Structure 1
Amino acid sequence: MTNKEGETSDKQYSLADLMVAIVNVSSQVAELVKKFDDNDLVVAKRNEEIEQKLKSHEQRLDKQYKEDIRRNIIIYGWSEVQNDENHVVRHKLVELLTDKLQIQGVRSFDIHSIRIVGEKKNVVRATLCSPHLVQLAIRNSAKLAGSKIFLDFDLSPEERAVKKELLSFKRTLSAQGKQCKLKNKNLLMVDNQPFTVEQLKGFNEVAADTQTQSSTQSQIGSGVDFFADIEMGDATKKRTPPNQEDVQQIKKPLIKPSAFHTTGKTEKFLSKKKANKKT
């Protein structure tokens, strides 16, 4: 072998030496691959632990949030506090709870926070000292009959969405003559029967399918030619008859006989046919 200076090197490598070197390199590569695999397992396990911790923290925060909003009470239509400062609203809320709702022993420090919300500034969100005080206020809210003030529990975003759907079903069913009343944040009483949002959605889908099937059967049994675009939701229309001019054009031959190339035999046949017609 020759070195960089072009001189011949006395060290010669046999085939066995090269094979040993290849085996050594292969073993080193295998060790590196194993280290990378082990690192991937460690990273994956670490990521799984972090995800579990995040999920646990989210569940804990969600539970704490739901416990906190149980101490909140929402007061709607309280227009007399629109322009008042928070400390004045706090004092008026104590009077509302003690005088009008007749809850004894309410003090100003039992109201932890006051916030006026809403576009008209006539909605108050108050945080009370305990969920029990909130329940007492809601239970005695019938004493506010005749006023514009309405009390309600504070809800989470998910609970607000459920209540919104229940109110939508309530309006629809009330228009149909049903006796509807919200029992709580999850149930709607329809003719003294409790229903959840999922049950009401299921009944609505069944009613829609039944109505579609009955309308289809009535169209088939009537013997009248109707068609409906179910997917687009178009109204059922009567199919109009074709124009008479279009019918005449359809009856005409599409290709005239003169368009064909006639041979001598064909011309003789046509001339004999014309002569027979004349006689």
Structure 2
Amino acid sequence: MLESQERAYKTALEMVVNQMNDQIKKLEGKFSDLTVSLEFTQREVDELISDIKEQTKSSHEKIKQLEERINHQEDYIRKKNVRISGVEERDGNETWEQSVKTVTSMLQDKLQLEGLELERAHRVGARQDANPRTIVARFSRYCDREAAMRNARKLKGTNIFLDDDLCPASQAIKNAQMPQLKQAKAQGKIAFFRHTKLIIRERYNVGAAAGRGRQPTGDTDEGTAASASTRGQQTVGDAGGVGGVERGAKGSAQSGSATDVDVQVAGTWSDGKEEGFPSLPTPRSDVSLLLSHSASGASP
């Protein structure tokens, strides 16, 4: 009887173990299916994340390009504008017509410029203290605006300053370079802005042209031209290689001493017609001949 009970227990135990094994196998199968499904889902998620990253990067690039185009368009619209600071402001609210009269008077009295036409001029910002607000003046013609900027050196010592009217993004780029501008000027270099680009150049000396050749002279703005003088042949040109030419001279052999000569660093030697630069007088034919010989290496 005991043997029969023992066999019954063993049979029952085996059945339970078999059932448990079957359940474990089923669970293992389900777990395997879930693992495959999870791996597939993870791959899809990874692909989606990669696509989203690429689309986000492309969107950022397009947004950046659009912002640059908008900034360029805004700067172009402001091309005929000038920001004028330090001009005395009337008591009370100054109308734009009064601002136009004030700027016109300043152009005539301070810059000795007649006949420049303004479309509009107005103060910007809220008046907070006794200091006058900046005036934004828009010229009718771009050439008038350039004439005012070229003559801005005449305002030295008057606490009146003329500056480009740039969009906020361009102005931020320019402001970020102001420490380099001040450092270069402190080192005796020529430093100025072309739009948002900071141009820094060394000062050169050009020897006096020999014999009957006259000295090319002319007033040059520190922001647009450099004073250059050295004996012998000197290559002078801007950083981008625009209009740089070689100028040779006999120097002190015939004239007795080297002479400082104001030259236009960018642009051509004869016409100086690069936009925003003052023109230089054309050298006499004998000096031009001397320069051409010096540039080619032949003896005059």
The normalised TM-score by structure 1 is: 0.46
With the length of structure 2 as denominator, give the TM-score of the two structures: 0.44
Higher radius of gyration, 1 or 2: 1
